[in-house]
Amino acid sequence: MAQSMTKRPMKGMLTGPVTILNWSFVRNDQPRSETCYQIALAIKDEVEDLERVGITVIHIDEAALREGLPLRKSEQASYLEWAVHSFRITNCSVEDTTQIHTHMCYSNFNDIIHSIINMDADVITIENSRSDEKLLLVFREGVKYGAGIGPGVYDIHSPKIPSTEEIAD
């Protein structure tokens, strides 16, 4: 409906499966990975519905992907494998012309940058207003990150509204 009212691209927004999992009270009679795959399949249906009605930019928010990383190093690779796989399930059937966006916030990405790359999103937006651009360094140095990056310049959790100059700076 909304896309039919404008010639400009509309962005469909959905919460990603890992974020839903990490911010929910999850059943404990099966592995978290299985629950996440089930959530991903439901989101995949929503992504397909958005694409079917003409939405060509779809944002699948994974704000809590890093948040769910196990503290035990021995469990981290497995978590990241199924987390990335879950994200990719959500958008595995989109046309090449559909742009997939994601978002992560308040994280140190150094230890998960290769998993972020493996998510294969076209654009990632990250919280950057509190980090003095330190969070962007991992995307510039040491790895080949070929997707678009949208650094956040406005902290939605702050009561301070930045000036145009502060945002441009």
**Residue 157 annotated as catalytic:** yes
Cβ pair 86, 37 in contact under 8 A: yes
**CA triple 71-74-75, angle to 5 deg:** 65
Beta-carbon contacts of residue 159 (< 8 Å; ≥ 6 apart) = none
Could you say which of 59, 101, 114, 157 is catalytic?
Answer: 157
Residue 10: which of 54, 44, 46 has the closest Cα?
A: 54
Q: Which residue has the tokens 């003409």?
A: 54
Q: How far apart are alpha carbons 12 and 1 in whole angstroms?
A: 12
**Active-site amino acid positions:** 157
